């Protein structure tokens, strides 16, 4: 093999790798803004439904599978599957509505699955009056089913004083 032929093959290999990297990067950027907007809208709808303690609006936003998990910030608040999650949310919504002041939202996605991180505050509006505001974070995994983003995992936490 001649020296020029080796250079030509090396050039082709480098070109192919550069092309693949740039195509992957461009396609990720194209879907990223669209997905971010969809997830942001989903978070707004979720926030409103939880604030108004509307179980009938929250349940359709969940991916009703055996893998569904909703974890609250208090000890023992680990609920898996439709029945456990529904019972727990019914109990919570029976005395208060919950919403979040989302000061930081990070979203990543591969197109069918999205990962969300939120940092901010949780606002609890008690039905008998009064309100409690707490620093709060949640992470979540959402899956896209029939064009709609649904929660597969929600994990909330109250951060320690930093």
Q: Where are the alpha helices (DSSP H) in the chain?
A: 3-51, 55-58, 81-93
Place of tokens 């009703």: 64
Over its C-alpha atoms, the chain yields an Rg (Å, rounded) of: 22
pTM of the model: 0.78
Q: What is the pLDDT of residue 40?
A: 96
101-137 pLDDT, tens digit per residue, is 999 999 999 989 999 999 999 999 999 999 999 999 9
The CATH number of 32-157, from 3.20.20.10, 3.40.50.2300, 3.10.450.50, 3.60.21.10, is: 3.10.450.50
Q: Is residue 60 classed as helix, strand or coil in its secondary structure?
A: helix
Residues 6+ apart with CB under 8 A from 154: 69, 70, 71, 138, 140
């Amino acid at each position: 093999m001649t020296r020029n032929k080796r250079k030509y093959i090396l050039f082709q290999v480098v070109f192919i790798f550069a092309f693949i990297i740039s195509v992957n990067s461009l396609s990720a950027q194209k879907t990223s803004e669209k997905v971010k907007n969809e997830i942001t809208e989903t978070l707004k709808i979720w926030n409103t439904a939880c604030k108004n303690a509307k179980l009938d609006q929250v349940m359709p936003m969940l991916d009703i599978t055996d893998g569904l998990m909703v974890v609250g910030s208090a000890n023992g608040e680990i609920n898996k599957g439709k029945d456990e999650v529904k019972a727990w949310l019914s109990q919570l919504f029976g005395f208060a509505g919950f919403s979040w002041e989302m000061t930081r939202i990070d979203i990543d996605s591969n197109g069918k699955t999205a990962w969300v991180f939120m940092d901010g505050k949780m606002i609890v509006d008690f039905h008998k009056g009064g309100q409690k505001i707490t620093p709060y974070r949640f992470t979540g995994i959402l899956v896209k089913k029939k064009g709609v983003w649904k929660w597969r995992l929600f994990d909330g936490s109250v951060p320690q004083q930093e």
